[in-house]
Amino acid sequence: MSELRSPLQAQVVQWQVAPGDIVAPGDVVVILEAMKMEHEVRATAAGQVRELFFGTGDGVGQGDVLMSTMALATSTTITQKVAPPVALSGAMHETQVRTDLQRVLDRHAHTLDAARPDAVRRRHALGLRTARENIEDLCDAGSFTEYGALAVAAQRNRRSDDDLMRNTPADGMVTGIGSINGDSFGPDQSRTVVMAYDATVLAGTQGMRNHQKTDRMLGIALANKLPVVLFAEGGGGRPGDTDMPIVAGLHVSTFASYARLNGQVPVVGIVAGRCFAGNAALLGCSDVIIATRASNIGMGGPAMVEGGGLGVFKPEQIGPSDTQHANGVIDVLVEDEAAAVRAAKHYLSFFQGRVQTFDSPDANALRSVVPENRLRVYDTRAAMTGICDTGSLLELRSGFGKGIHTALARIEGRPVGIIANNPLHLGGAIDADAADKAARFMQLCNAHGLPLVSLVDTPGFMVGPEIEERAQVRHVSRMFVAAAHLRVPFFSVVLRKGYGLGAMAMCAGGFHSPDFTVAWPTGEFGAMGLEGAVKLGYRKELQAQPEGPARDALYDHLVAKQYEAGQAMNMAATLEIDAVIDPAQTREWLARGLASCVVRESRGLSIDTW
């Protein structure tokens, strides 16, 4: 005879056997309840039930004998009464889906694009993709984990649950974490928070639930130092959410939470279509804004403009892409959403680490970038392309501040930021817009630890009564202040003109501020532009000559003397610069410089939105 004892203190709920029954090992013989949870007690050996010692509803203590059994004759055939528990590793047949699981699967299916074919068709008819299609393209295959998929609009007081489930999936915003560029940088460097307003759901407006989702994701991004990508299409705040007793909803923390990421992690905003009000406010807090040509971005949409008594406008009239690219709101202007996603991947790659494989451009091509005629303009983008790994260059704000180019790129696989004067605009003179653009770009690279390369060809800061009306003094000085707070390596290469305060600003405040300052053989230097220096310094001598050939000849002679004195070789001889180099050696100099210098510790850096 053997005994079966209780494994815990409990109450008998139901016996599964009776005296005389034959049990096999693993058969459930009794159900016990403890702390509102039911426990199956199973037979440990084969036998015939002899006696049950407790009835239904009786309390039992741990170790109490529940049942006794008698051994069976060896010839007895045992038929198992109750199937043994399925092992945790056992696979359930695909048709054996439990009811509770099926409910969850069905509910999730309603959040997908396939559940809303009409909305998807309307979206595609506009030439646009859905939020989920953009996320699928952005994230590595199968890597996206969605948060808050089952949320619906906070409108249960005015709409049925079925209506909300079918027409407000995810409360109009898809959020989660996925890998971007994981094949190149691995899982540790590629995980990214992704949030996409869904323009097919209540026009992509900001509801109370999607504010909660956004705040949740932004908190995770800040705590875990994860980059953020935001698809910001939509119309701002939503007045129709009635489930919460609020008046204005101005207490939401989404905007502060998004802004708090500034300088902490890379933040990318993407727009296709219309982006107004609250959506635009979040977009404006992003490090970089990537937008399609068909986009419109504004702090207020048509309804808000009309409501303010400012006139009646179509959405397409407010903040069109050509305007927002020219004024600097848009950093990268692309044709469509597919191109926007490619640009976002490219941008994020610079903050994900170094690559081991790269293609080098023809170094000798740099020797012919600067024309032999010192007065002839040229495009410094050729120099940028010539020093960077092939295909790595990503220019930012190309439509704004045209006096200075700013771009992210790689040199021998290592990410860097590049600023370069543009002689095609004002002869390379630095105006207010160019200074703002350069200073803000230095902040961006500094916050995220990217070394800076400066390609110098400038006659200095732009001057004159007209430019001073634009607060030139304050704007251009931003470059000095930004450079004074750099923690990243800085390298200057003077391509041609290095004159005055403008050249000093391009060299982080002075020619000895960078980790090195070198010049190409075409480099020429002076406290101010040669022509201006001659006119100012030799005014009496020039005026002493009669107007005409004699004065012109003296002027040309004096300019030539100034040019001879300010040549790069003389600057290097007096140690005002570190070297004069063969342009073909520029990549080599920069690669060695990058290997020799370190990024210093961050001290709570921030990036101006402008």
- Residue 86 confidence (pLDDT): 46
What letter represents residue 523's amino acid?
G
Can you tell me the distance from the alpha carbon of 576 to that of 567, in angstroms, rounded to the nearest whole number?
12
- Residue 82 confidence (pLDDT): 53
Write down the domain spans for the chain: 2-70, 101-349, 363-523+567-596, 528-566
Strand-strand pairing, 22-23 and 65-70 = unpaired
What is the CB-side half-sphere exposure of residue 76 using CA atoms within 13 A?
15
- Residue 548 confidence (pLDDT): 87
Count other C-beta atoms under 10 Å from residue 5's C-beta. 14
Beta carbons of 139 and 179 less than 8 angstroms apart: yes
Adjacent-strand bridge partners of 394: 408
- Residue 562 confidence (pLDDT): 79
- Residue 85 confidence (pLDDT): 52
- Residue 544 confidence (pLDDT): 86
* CATH level 3 topology of 2-70: OB fold (Dihydrolipoamide Acetyltransferase, E2P) (2.40.50)
Fold identical between 2-70 and 363-523+567-596? Answer: no
Q: How many angstroms separate the most distant Cα atoms in the chain?
A: 137
Q: Can you state the angle between helices 530-537 and 549-565, rounded to 10 degrees? A: 120
The structure tokens listed for 419 are 């600023």
CATH superfamily of 363-523+567-596: 2-enoyl-CoA Hydratase; Chain A, domain 1 (3.90.226.10)
- Residue 84 confidence (pLDDT): 52
Contacts of 406 (CB under 8 A, 6+ apart): 395, 396, 397, 417, 418, 419, 437, 438, 441
Architecture of domain 101-349: Alpha-Beta Complex (3.90)
- The length of the chain in residues reads 610
Q: Which residue has the tokens 């390596």?
A: 489
Helix (H, G, I), strand (E, B) or coil at 586: helix
Which burial class, exposed, middle or buried, applies to 315 when counting CB atoms under 10 A from its CB (0-12, 13-18, 19+)?
Answer: middle
What is the CB-side half-sphere exposure of residue 560 using CA atoms within 13 A?
6
Rounded average pLDDT per 10-residue block, the chain, 610 residues: 94 96 94 96 94 96 96 70 49 72 91 94 96 97 95 88 89 96 93 96 88 94 97 86 72 89 96 94 96 95 86 92 97 98 98 96 97 94 98 98 98 98 97 98 97 97 93 96 96 97 97 97 87 80 86 86 86 96 98 95 85
